[in-house]
Amino acid sequence: MFTPTSLIRPEIAALEAYTPILPLEVLAERLGLPVEQLVKLDANENPYGPAPRVRAALAAESHYHIYPDPEHTRLRAALAEYTGLPAAMILCGAGADELIDLILRLILTSGDVVLDCPPTFGMYRFDTEVCGGRVVEVARCADFSLDVAALETAARTHQARVVFLAAPNNPSGNPLPPEQLERLLALPLLVVVDEAYLEFAGVGQGYAPWVARYANLAVLRTFSKWAGLAGMRVGYGIFPAWLSEQLWKMKQPYNVSVAGQVAALTSLEERAWLLGNVARIVAERERLLPLLAALPYLEPQPSVANFILCRVVGRNARDLKLALEQQGILVRYYHNDLLRDYIRISIGTPAQSEALLAALSALS
Ligand SMILES: Cc1ncc(COP(=O)(O)O)c(C=O)c1O
């Protein structure tokens, strides 16, 4: 007899279901608090939101009934100016997330190995598994730096095809030193440097200019963090020609919506306002770090991103996350062995920090 479930690819059937985050309204209702009272510090979003002129440009846009430009022509021209690189090297996606998936769909066939450096951003593992690839983990050192020698060995042993390196890394917030990247670029695989948090790191254009020099390097970026557009889903990548040629063939033609393109383009025009907020967030990060360190049960890690990873000492980290949640303060807790004793706190406004600090002190 025909069983429809036999149609499912075995690697997908074996995947654990993804646990989606709760929408704010649902969480607020569950906690019995108004949405405005929630202090959302759990997803590295930008507390200041989009530039005011982005809202105006979205309201003024008159072509929502027309499909978007599949080549993102105006946005890529503006990104060329922003990055200092030719538009031909740039491809936009529905968030950096879409580009991670596209790269892996291009490169992996069943069982191919991707190197992952936990603790790090979860989508590298997720998309590898969805694409039928195999994740080989090369854990970071105790200070969250990469174990480059172990990565070199694993690359050779498993003939790995791709390695993902978040720079700065999420959730640990540490940068990727150039000499480490140089060593990894000497390996026969594609190195994807994910610069989702670049603008908070004070390193100019980061590793994007290196793409012109290294044929096996791709750099990912996003408007979700610095430009406050997480809900719009716009990211971009800087790719060598051999890679972008293939990605262009594969991408959905209308992957970035009319609204997404308008919002991203206007954000680049409004970058002075937005980078002012980035500076505010960086200043708040520097103010918050010693205040967190002064609490008897937290050991915050230095960070160059818009979040701080804290080790929770002498008490249960998950209970702490839940106790904060009861007061409407949302921080990130990870249900995995490496991060069992940690919470990650996104940097909010000074007022949000004060609410967080008051709640943490009350829990001391
Ligand atoms: C390292 C890293 N890369 C990519 C993303 C996702 O970016 P986007 O919103 O553009 O899909 C995130 C979001 O948290 C991230 O932490």
The amino acid present at 354, given as its one-letter code, is E
Q: Do 74 and 213 fall within a single domain?
A: yes
- Domain-terminating residue out of 270, 301, 317: 270
Query: What distance in Å separates the CA atoms of residue 187 and residue 151, rounded to the nearest whole number?
Result: 10
Residue positions counted in the chain? 364
Per-residue pLDDT of 254-287, as tens digits, reads 999 999 999 999 999 999 999 999 999 999 999 9
227 pocket-lining for ligand 1 (C-beta < 6 Å) = no
pLDDT band at 200 (very low <50, low <70, confident <90, very high): very high
Say which residues have a Cβ less than 8 Å from residue 90's Cβ, sequence separation at least 6: 76, 79, 80, 83, 236, 237, 238, 239
Per-residue pLDDT of 286-323, as tens digits, reads 999 999 999 999 999 999 999 999 999 999 999 999 99
- For the beta carbon of residue 220, count every other beta carbon within 10 angstroms: 26
Q: Do 30 and 105 fall within a single domain?
A: no
Answer yes or no: is pLDDT of 19 > 90: no
Predicted TM-score (pTM) of this structure: 0.97
Strands 113-116, 134-137: pairing kind:
parallel
Per-residue pLDDT of 234-256, as tens digits, reads 999 999 999 999 999 999 999 99
Element (DSSP H or E) covering residue 61: none
CATH number at residue 283: 3.90.1150.10
Residue 168: φ, ψ to 5°: -65, 160
Domains in the chain: how many in total?
2
Q: Do 247 and 350 fall within a single domain?
A: no
Per-residue pLDDT of 337-350, as tens digits, reads 999 999 999 999 99
Domain of residue 296, residue span: 4-49+272-362
192 pocket-lining for ligand 1 (C-beta < 6 Å) = no
User: By the 8 A CB rule, do 148 and 176 touch?
Assistant: no
User: In this structure, which residue's CA is closest to atom 7 in ligand 1?
Assistant: 96
CATH number at residue 102: 3.40.640.10
Q: Do 81 and 216 fall within a single domain?
A: yes
Q: Do 30 and 157 fall within a single domain?
A: no
User: By the 8 A CB rule, do 127 and 167 touch?
Assistant: no
Query: What distance in Å separates the CA atoms of residue 27 and residue 36, rounded to the nearest whole number?
Result: 12
Say which residues have a Cβ less than 8 Å from residue 294's Cβ, sequence separation at least 6: none
Question: Average model confidence (pLDDT) for the chain?
Answer: 97
- Domain-terminating residue out of 252, 270, 288: 270
Q: Do 108 and 256 fall within a single domain?
A: yes
Q: Do 42 and 167 fall within a single domain?
A: no
Q: Do 127 and 141 fall within a single domain?
A: yes
Q: Do 252 and 328 fall within a single domain?
A: no
224 pocket-lining for ligand 1 (C-beta < 6 Å) = yes
- Domain-terminating residue out of 209, 243, 270: 270
pLDDT band at 22 (very low <50, low <70, confident <90, very high): confident
Q: Do 313 and 260 fall within a single domain?
A: no
C-alpha torsion 315→319→321→322, nearest 10: -160
Beta bridge partners of 312: 298
173 pocket-lining for ligand 1 (C-beta < 6 Å) = no
Distance 188 CA to ligand 1 centre (A): 26
194 pocket-lining for ligand 1 (C-beta < 6 Å) = yes
Ligand 1 atom, smallest distance to 100 CA: 4
Distance 29 CA to ligand 1 centre (A): 27
pLDDT of residue 20: 73
pLDDT of residue 110: 92
Q: Do 61 and 32 fall within a single domain?
A: no
Answer yes or no: is pLDDT of 18 > 80: no
Answer yes or no: is pLDDT of 21 > 90: no
Per-residue pLDDT of 174-193, as tens digits, reads 999 999 999 999 999 999 99
- Show the tokens assigned to 4: 């429809």
Q: Do 290 and 211 fall within a single domain?
A: no
